Structure 1
Amino acid sequence: MTVRVLVVDDEPMVCAHLRTILGAADGVEVVATASDGAEAVEAVVLHEPDVVLMDLRMPGVDGIAATARIVQLPNAPHVVALTTFDGDEHVHRALAAGAAGYLLKSTPPEELAALVRVAAQGHAVMSRSAARSLVDRVGDEQVARRRAAARLARLTDRERDVVALLGEGCSNAEVARRLHLTEATVKGYVSNALDKLGFTNRTQLGLLAREAGLGRK
Structure 2
Amino acid sequence: MNNIRILIADDHPLMREALKTALADENDLIVVGEASNGLEAISLAETQHPDVILMDLLMPGMDGLEAITRLAEADPGVKVLVVTSLEDEEKVTAAIQAGALGYFPKTAPRTFLLEAIRKVADGVPYLPAGIAKKLFHSLRNMRAAAPARSAVDEPLTARQEEILSLLGEGRSDQEIGGILHLTEATVRSHVHRVVQRLGLKNRAQAVAYANRKRGKEG
TM over 0.5: yes
Kindly indicate whether the alpha-carbon contact (under 8 Å) linking 2:168 and 2:208 is maintained by their aligned counterparts in 1: yes
d(CA) in 1 for partners of 2:121, 2:30: 12
1:67–1:97 Cα contact (<8 Å) kept = yes
- Kindly state the Cα deviation for residue 200 of structure 1 after the two structures are TM-superposed: 4.6
Percent identity reads 30
Aligned length in residues: 212
* Stretch deviating more after TM superposition (49-58 or 76-85): 76-85
CA offset at residue 21 of structure 1? 0.7
Q: Secondary structure at the match of 1:141?
A: coil
* Contact kept in structure 2, 1:51 and 1:79, CA below 8 Å: yes
Which residue is 1:63 aligned to? 64
1:80 CA drift (Å): 1.3
Range with greater deviation from structure 2 (26-35 or 112-121) = 112-121
The corresponding residue for 1:182 is 180
Q: Per-residue deviation at 1:32?
A: 1.9
* Aligned equivalents of 2:15, 2:84: Cα separation in 1: 11
Deviation at 1:43, TM superposition (A): 1.9
Deviation string 1:167-202 (CA, Å, 9 cap, x unpaired) is 45345687799xxx7354994875553222233543
Distance in structure 2 (CA, Å) of the matches to 1:45 and 1:190:
21
Partner SS state of residue 71, structure 1: helix
Greater Cα shift, 31-40 or 41-50 = 41-50
- 1:50 is matched with 51
Any conservation in 2 of the 1:48–1:77 contact (CA below 8 Å)? no
Query: Partner amino acid for 1:70?
Result: L
Q: Which residue pairs with 2:22 in the alignment?
A: 21
Q: Which residue is 1:35 aligned to?
A: 36
2:94 maps to 1:104 = no
CA distance in 2, matches of 1:92, 1:26: 32
Q: What residue in structure 1 maps to residue 147 of structure 2?
A: 148
Q: Is the 8 A contact 2:123 2:172 kept in 1?
A: no
Give SS of 2:80's match: strand
Q: Is the 8 A contact 2:81 2:104 kept in 1?
A: yes
- 1:102 aligned counterpart, secondary structure: strand
Cα distance per residue 1:77-129 (max 9 Å; x no partner): 42111222444422212211211222222232123234322322222223577
Contact 2:124 2:170 in 1 (8 A): no
> Partners of 2:173 and 2:50 in 1: how far apart?
24
Contact 1:155-1:193 within 8 A present in 2 as well: no
CA RMSD, Structure 1 to Structure 2 (Å) = 3.9
Structure 2 partner of 1:80? 81
The separation in 2 between residues aligned to 1:196 and 1:75, in whole angstroms, is 13
Alpha-carbon distance in structure 1 between the residues aligned to 2:207 and 2:76? 23
Residue aligning to 2:3: 2
The separation in 1 between residues aligned to 2:75 and 2:43, in whole angstroms, is 13
Mapped contact 1:172–1:183 kept (Cα < 8 A): no
Residues 167, 214 of structure 1: 8 Å contact kept = no
Structure 2: tracts of 5 or more residues without a match: none
Q: Deviations over 1:33-59 (max 9, x none)?
A: 211111211222233222110011222
Q: CA deviation at 1:60?
A: 1.9
Change in Cα spacing, 1:168 to 1:37, as seen in structure 2 (3 Å) is same
**TM-score of the superposition, structure 2-length normalised?**
0.73
Distance 1:216 1:32, change over 3 A: farther
The separation in 2 between residues aligned to 1:75 and 1:160, in whole angstroms, is: 18
